[in-house]
Amino acid sequence: MQNRKKIGNQFFDWDLGNDYEPIKILGRGSYGQVCSAIHKPSGIKVAIKKMDGVFEDEIDCKRILREVDLLRKLEHPYVIEVFDMLEPKNPDTFDTVYIVLRLAESDLKKVIKSAIHLQIKHISTVVYNLLCALKYLHSADVIHRDLKPANVLINEDCSV
């Protein structure tokens, strides 16, 4: 009961509808927060990116719109996939955007800082996957502009 109370308070201002059950906050960034969640109808684990105040700054608004548009269009095994985008309850007054993405198990920064010892085969796989993703993005005339270990999502099998 105590744990449920804590989770309820943590997500009191998240409007995820009935299809998603939030689990925990994964991180915070310049545009908002990310939590892990379960898509209840399918049981799939997802990450939900919540971006508040999206219309407060015109430049930020354009960046968010560009990110959403690009993520919807890009299809590559090593580029994060948009699972869903939550429709606002009131399209006339909303100021929060929720993007639902496939959940990755970790990020490269956490892996580097952990006690995990990566074999050369693992490092080669991560670098190869990352370079494939970058090549794909560049072929689509997209430059990442914020490539850093914390933004490289990674799974246990070393897929990026």
Tally the C-alpha atoms within 13 A of residue 111's C-alpha that lie toward its C-beta: 24
Residue 146 annotated in active site: yes
Catalytic residue among 13, 92, 141, 146: 146
Q: Would you name the residues annotated as active-site residues?
A: 146
